[in-house]
Structure 1
Amino acid sequence: MRDDVDPFIGTAATCLPPSDGLAATWWWPKPQVGNTHPGATSPLGMVSACAFSGAYPTGYGRYGKNTEGVPDEMFDAAQASGFTHFQQSGTGAIRKYYNYVRVTPMVAPLDDLGESWALHDETASPGYYAATLDTRVHCEITVGEKVAVHRYTFPDTRSARVVLDLSCGGLAIDHGRTVPLRAHVESMGYGRAQGTVVMEGVPLSVYLEVHSPNWRQMLWYDRRLIEGGTRLDFDSIRQTTLRPFGLLFMGPGRPGQPVEVRMGFSLRGCEQARENLWRECGTSEPVFDAVRARTETRWDDHLHRVRVEGGTPARRTVTATALYHSLIKPCFGDDESPFWPTAGPFAFDVCTMWDIYKTQIPLLMAIAPNRAADLLESLIRVCEEEGNFPIGYRMARGADRFFRQASALAHTALADAHSLALGGLDWSWALVHMEADLRRMYGEDFIEHGVVHPITHTLDLAYGHHCTAQVARALGDKRLADDSDARSRLWVNAFDPVTGLLRDSEYYEGGKWNYSFRLLHDMRARITLAGGDDAFVDMLDAFFGFGAGPVTQPGRRPSPTEMVAGYGLNRFEGLNNEPDMEAPWAYHYAGRPDRTAEIVNSALTWQFGTGTGGLPGNDDSGGLSAWYVWASLGLFPVAGQSLFLVNAPAFARSTLRVDGGEFVVETTGHREAPVGADGIEKTPPVQYVQAATLNGRPLESTHLRAADVHNGGVLHLELGPEPSPWGRSARPPSLSDARTGGATP
């Protein structure tokens, strides 16, 4: 499956075939670019490495910062001033862009450091990136979990250089630069050096070994060599006083004789960085191919945890790449937290929970449960240290930096993990923090008034109380369970009973239509509030554009008038916006899974593709890609309720490797998309579930317990070309069912 991955998907502005049918009625206001990068990564590893252009937002590519429509280009073609480490993946304005420790192979004087050269013959695969610069230097990069290895092959020259710039950080855009606060660099003898730069309060240490025959090494400052110097120390650096600094290795370049740069990283000092390097690379030389092979083996293991059969080559490529993008973030640095001294997992680039809690974390729980448990353990520790469960967490202190987006999202993952008995978490201690976190930020007002604005936080907090009630009841804390359960029912205060939609309020990236179809814990009562099944379906139909005409997407620099008109459509934003991710499955609760099938089929067909422009918007650290993986399998996780909703899959057969063995989704009646004489996939037919069995027993409802998936088994779906009665009467569970004698989540 690794061979099917294309790391370049999503690296350029969206370039998809013009949408047809239902998808043509959707409107995409947010930036139309995936914001991924093709650099070398390891599955959920700490380090990434890629060519550095300084462009927004990963440091790779050609685009400037934008918030609407098609992004502006900063450069005419791909270029790089070197190769940096630690990149975001698929984010937008995350305000921390890393790109630390730039390595630049040069055949020009040190004065030219910072110049950019065109990139030619770029290639990438999981764990590997390569390109040739205009200077005819061939550059290759691979990474391990905490290491990066560069290999440069120079043309015939008497003066080749490898320059390390430890002052580099951030992007080449306004307010995008990250300036080190303090720094230390030390040359330690032939081919060895180490240094620490403190970036936004985080001490990033690197230990490096450069294997080059008969080369000199020197420190440099402000592009001037320091002959005979062995140390540089900067106790205080400011924007106005920063001058670039680092190390230089210089000597003759001979064709076919590579120079290898090995780098170990740590957030706990140079000694641990050296240990990380030696543990992953050993002492043999060269090590590039061995590190690459081990990382590729790790990728093979992770990518084979989801297998699909059938489909066109293009769809298999998109699916494999979506799974790959889903497994880049979060980053795990075991025993590396710079903020607490004890051993254990440290997870960062949880960017942000608002993006990933619905899709990506449930995917990790299914196919990488140990890492999912490590993530939750790390989040609990962050809450201990900083007083908040993070809505977004980067390699820096500040768990509350994304609080405007949402509230209490970690509670959903904790509730699911407890239901699944995932990991060895101290659940009594976790519950203490779940309760305490619900009283922070907007939580106090919610407890006092039963409603808060922005109104979406009312939904978040009510849902957080529901998740807390489930864990508290399971642990025997009846008082907390009853108290949280009562508050969980206050979600109703967020809705206008006249319109059946959310009340007027401020909304973060969206409007009340985008947020009004969340999969609440009491969808039965939510649908009743809207006027019943028919009225709710009518609202959904309007939102998804059934019966509407095509719309024009925002182009480059859209006018305010154009944007106001687009927002006035109150339309599904076609996965270009996170709040819309779960909305297609709201139909399940109104007995119309056929509508879900039509929307998901349109989204899979028209919103994703091969090529650099194959994503409809920000990949959001893998949240969007994880949506594609689940949708392709015919499943959707309802985060916080330990449920999966069932839909027609995109493949005839698929397999999830889970702790309980394998969970297989198999079909009869599946029809592949037709392929034209030109080899291009045509519009796949919409397929509807006619009947279902789980492990040979009839499945009348459109949902599974999460345990059914995690324990392994076989879901068999009979598909057909027309809607059927399946799923119309047996609905997924709601909190109201407990009062009416029905099933409970």
Structure 2
Amino acid sequence: MSSNLSRILDSVDPFIGTEPADLPAAQGLAASWWWPKAQVGNTHPGACHPLGMVSACACSGAYPTGYGRYGMSTEGAPAPLYDDYLASGFTHFQQSGTGAIRKYYNYFRVTPMIEPLDALGTRWKLQDESAEPGYYAATLENGIRCELTVGEKTAVHRYTFPEASSARVVLDFSYGGLAIEHGTTVPLRAGLESLGQGAAQGTVVMEGIPLSVYIDSDTPKSWRQLVWYDRRRVDGGTRLDFDYIRRTTLRPFGLMFMGPARAGTTIEIRMGFSMRGTGQARSNLEQALPGGFEHGFDRVRAQTHDAWSGYASQVEVDGGTPERRTVFATSVYHSLIKPCFAEDESPFWPSKGPFVFDIATMWDMYKTQFPLLTALDPAKGALMLESLVRIAEEEGNLPIGYRMARGSDRFFRQASALAHTVLADGYQLGLEGLEWDWALVHMQDDLRRGYGEDFADRGIAHPVSHTLDLATGYWCTAIVARGLGDHRLADELEAKSRAWTNAFGGDGLLRDSSFYEGGRWNYSFRLLHDMAARIKLAGGDKEFTAVLDRFFGYGAGPVTQLGVPPFGPEFAIGQDLNRFEGLNNEPDMEAPWAYHYAGRPDRTAEIVHAALSYQFGTGRGGLPGNDDSGALSSWYVWASLGLFPVAGQNLFLVNAPAFGGASLRFGGNDFELVTTGHVESGIGEDAAGSSVQYVQAARFNGKPLDYGFLTGNQLHGGGRLEIELGPEPSDWATKTRPPSASDRPDPARGGGARLQEFSP
């Protein structure tokens, strides 16, 4: 490997994905893909701690994070809500790359002002924005320089004022949500208390979530500290309590620090958060700043930078253009913002232990993001699995999606039995700390939840994509049962898992049904646990490849993408294409690797090369669609490394990487990726004319790797993967296929192989 290993943390651009997709015109295959969903990443550039509970960002009220200029959009390019980048203050708890939020987002708005309190809610223009992992800064048009940083459960604000006779920092406990229709939120109950000497505390409750804050500040001695209600100071008051708030009775309320400011006066606001009361919120702040709160901003910023460095140092790449390194580095960053780990913070049960939330898009995250998290931090991966089991224990089901809300907001329509895949992978990797016997109980019980009743009784469920989910869930549960020695149960579960065939019709595609955000073509190429039988059902390798070729647009011309609604005929025309959605939406994000199972890894190389070249870029418009909590970014990370996880199967498919090499630390061990014959290629316009590279041969730990996959244990165990690349397809990995449930090892037939045959 060359000495050009890049420290990727230095290349992260948190602004990527904050504006509508702005990518150079696609060429070749990528020009034939059609984008139906919102053409915006829906990310924000605010300060985030890796996998932390708290984020902080400038808030304009725009959809869906509170940051930015755009209104709600679910299809096509979003329409502007504002002409400029604006902020009415700085809020906490933002989603990342999703299309939906819950009520607790954007609470505890902090607004620095030199205007009267009546001006609270004004949106000032943002100037001189800058951001890096763990840090965000901007100057308001009134001249106040604003800086934010966060810890795992803390946030620290630093404001530098111009000269003003009456400056103030206002904390609004009543503000939250978004400035769109049905986007604002109202706390049901609230209370705050000024403790004197720069300290205060309070709690707001919404959707059953008690969100508490403890505040410490270092305001000048000449400044006053007071509470306010309905934009008026409460003279002499130190407490506000609201037992029951309705939209019709809500009046803004909060805390304020105010006084004269010389040019350069700096105010620091330090905040600890908890979902278990103000006492724990204070303890969280004290733990982040042991020995005292002074100079908290610089200390927390340094701690968070070190935390990001710890993750980023585990994924270093060799070579690549500056643009490609920026996109890759930012993808790693976006992959590690969610989910939120909040140890000992569950508001739903009293005991201590792991608690994980903002698993907002598990139907995408389980495919790419969870395998990346588990590879980079096996201990965190185990805590996440333990948290999933705890949710099932306390709330009655394994979640499909889990945002902070008491109630049934668990996305049951989107998918079924997804946690089973994550648990099966964790079991096969040997993640420690879980009671696997107890996990198996919940996995088995959960299979009859929701659409699972229909599947259990009739062997099929509609929407028919749930049939695939549930069949996979049975297969994954069987893996754990067999590993624990319950072979009778494993046999029963495996028999149920074969009902995936009921989802398919005679044309090799899924039966007609309703589908969530897609059509039957988008869902027809899932990487099932029995791809050998799936391909046989389609008529064999040649027939399966032909259907895939049509789906990916081989031989098709460019298509017209959607603009800003309302749409013309291009929407109906695009829907009728039954085409790959090109990473704009993720139901078919693993479909390019289906070619591996038909002995055509060259096709995988061509499609992945087109996606990496034309569907991602630098700048605010560098994402083709919702990042979905980091799942799309995780796809980019794996695809760039020439690897792709097959969820629930402890399997990674191998492809041509986009970099000359990489130094990785997966599973706590060093994994080195080395190529020969690699030719550098760019993205966007710089990719025009760059040829696809194909794997000619591969070696793993010095031995020939003639098949196109590694097990998760091999990847996590460390080693050296050497890949020889060339400009033309080869016969590499065309004979022995990736493992399938119904296969027996028989390379002469081109058959697959059981995974255990290749485990170390």
Counterpart for residue 650 of structure 2: 642
- Structure 1 range deviating more: 732-741 or 508-517: 732-741
Distance 2:275 2:163 in 1: 38
Describe the shift of the 1:681–1:729 C-alpha distance in structure 2 as closer, same or farther (beyond 3 A).
closer
Describe the shift of the 1:416–1:491 C-alpha distance in structure 2 as closer, same or farther (beyond 3 A).
same
In the alignment, which of 105, 113, 132 is matched to residue 125 of structure 1? 132
Where does the alignment leave 5 or more consecutive residues of structure 1 unmatched? none
In the alignment, which of 745, 753, 760 is matched to residue 743 of structure 1? 753
Shift of 1:458: 0.4
Distance 2:441 2:682 in 1: 55
Q: Quick check: 1:455–1:494 contact (8 Å CA) kept in 2?
A: yes
User: Alignment partner of 1:665: what SS?
Assistant: strand
Q: Quick check: 1:388–1:400 contact (8 Å CA) kept in 2?
A: no
Asked if 1:441 corresponds to 2:462, the answer is no
Distance 2:447 2:423 in 1: 14
In structure 2, what residue type is equivalent to 1:251?
Answer: G
In the alignment, which of 49, 68, 73 is matched to residue 66 of structure 1? 73
In structure 1, what residue type is equivalent to 2:329?
Answer: A
In structure 2, what residue type is equivalent to 1:431?
Answer: L
Counterpart for residue 279 of structure 2: 271
- Structure 1 range deviating more: 112-121 or 655-664: 655-664
Deviation sequence 1:38-87 (CA, Å, 0-9, x none): 00000101100000000000000000001110000000110000000000
Where does the alignment leave 5 or more consecutive residues of structure 2 unmatched? 1-7, 756-760
Map residues 67-146 of structure 1 onto 2, 5 A cutoff: 67-96=74-103, 98-146=105-153
Distance 1:297 1:634 in 2: 28
Asked if 1:608 corresponds to 2:608, the answer is no
Counterpart for residue 353 of structure 1: 362
Q: Quick check: 2:403–2:409 contact (8 Å CA) kept in 1?
A: no
- The normalised TM-score by structure 1 is 0.98
Counterpart for residue 5 of structure 2: none
Shift of 1:681: 5.7
In the alignment, which of 701, 710, 723 is matched to residue 704 of structure 1? 710
Counterpart for residue 582 of structure 1: 590
Counterpart for residue 369 of structure 1: 378
Counterpart for residue 502 of structure 1: 510
Q: Quick check: 1:575–1:617 contact (8 Å CA) kept in 2?
A: yes
Counterpart for residue 36 of structure 2: 29
In structure 1, what residue type is equivalent to 2:129?
Answer: E
- Length, aligned pairs only: 742
Map residues 620-699 of structure 1 onto 2, 5 A cutoff: 620-673=628-681, 682-699=688-705
Describe the shift of the 1:689–1:296 C-alpha distance in structure 2 as closer, same or farther (beyond 3 A).
same
Asked if 1:16 corresponds to 2:23, the answer is yes
Shift of 1:567: 0.7
Describe the shift of the 1:702–1:107 C-alpha distance in structure 2 as closer, same or farther (beyond 3 A).
same
Describe the shift of the 1:284–1:56 C-alpha distance in structure 2 as closer, same or farther (beyond 3 A).
closer
Distance 2:58 2:563 in 1: 28
Shift of 1:343: 1.3
In structure 2, what residue type is equivalent to 1:134?
Answer: E
Describe the shift of the 1:270–1:558 C-alpha distance in structure 2 as closer, same or farther (beyond 3 A).
same
Deviation sequence 1:230-252 (CA, Å, 0-9, x none): 11111111122111110011011
Describe the shift of the 1:47–1:596 C-alpha distance in structure 2 as closer, same or farther (beyond 3 A).
same
In structure 2, what residue type is equivalent to 1:366?
Answer: A
- The normalised TM-score by structure 2 is 0.96
Shift of 1:96: 4.6
User: Alignment partner of 1:671: what SS?
Assistant: coil
Q: Quick check: 2:324–2:683 contact (8 Å CA) kept in 1?
A: no
Distance 1:297 1:739 in 2: 47
Q: Quick check: 2:400–2:417 contact (8 Å CA) kept in 1?
A: yes
User: Alignment partner of 2:740: what SS?
Assistant: coil
User: Alignment partner of 2:498: what SS?
Assistant: helix
In structure 2, what residue type is equivalent to 1:732?
Answer: P
Distance 1:684 1:623 in 2: 27
Q: Quick check: 1:652–1:666 contact (8 Å CA) kept in 2?
A: yes
Counterpart for residue 720 of structure 2: 714
Distance 2:265 2:156 in 1: 16
In the alignment, which of 257, 262, 265 is matched to residue 270 of structure 2? 262
Distance 2:666 2:728 in 1: 32
In structure 1, what residue type is equivalent to 2:20?
Answer: A
Asked if 1:165 corresponds to 2:175, the answer is no
Asked if 1:530 corresponds to 2:538, the answer is yes
Counterpart for residue 202 of structure 1: 209
Q: Quick check: 2:475–2:494 contact (8 Å CA) kept in 1?
A: yes
List 4+ stretches of structure 1 deviating above 3 A: 94-97, 679-684, 738-742
Q: Quick check: 1:330–1:349 contact (8 Å CA) kept in 2?
A: yes
Q: Quick check: 2:360–2:401 contact (8 Å CA) kept in 1?
A: yes
Distance 2:55 2:79 in 1: 26
Counterpart for residue 758 of structure 2: none
In structure 2, what residue type is equivalent to 1:226?
Answer: V
In structure 1, what residue type is equivalent to 2:705?
Answer: L
Q: Quick check: 2:212–2:278 contact (8 Å CA) kept in 1?
A: yes
Distance 1:352 1:12 in 2: 20
Q: Quick check: 1:390–1:400 contact (8 Å CA) kept in 2?
A: no
Map residues 96-495 of structure 1 onto 2, 5 A cutoff: 96=103, 98-213=105-220, 214-282=222-290, 283-398=292-407, 401-495=410-504
Shift of 1:95: 4.7
Distance 1:186 1:42 in 2: 28
Distance 1:542 1:674 in 2: 27
Distance 2:570 2:553 in 1: 19
Describe the shift of the 1:674–1:138 C-alpha distance in structure 2 as closer, same or farther (beyond 3 A).
closer
Describe the shift of the 1:675–1:593 C-alpha distance in structure 2 as closer, same or farther (beyond 3 A).
closer
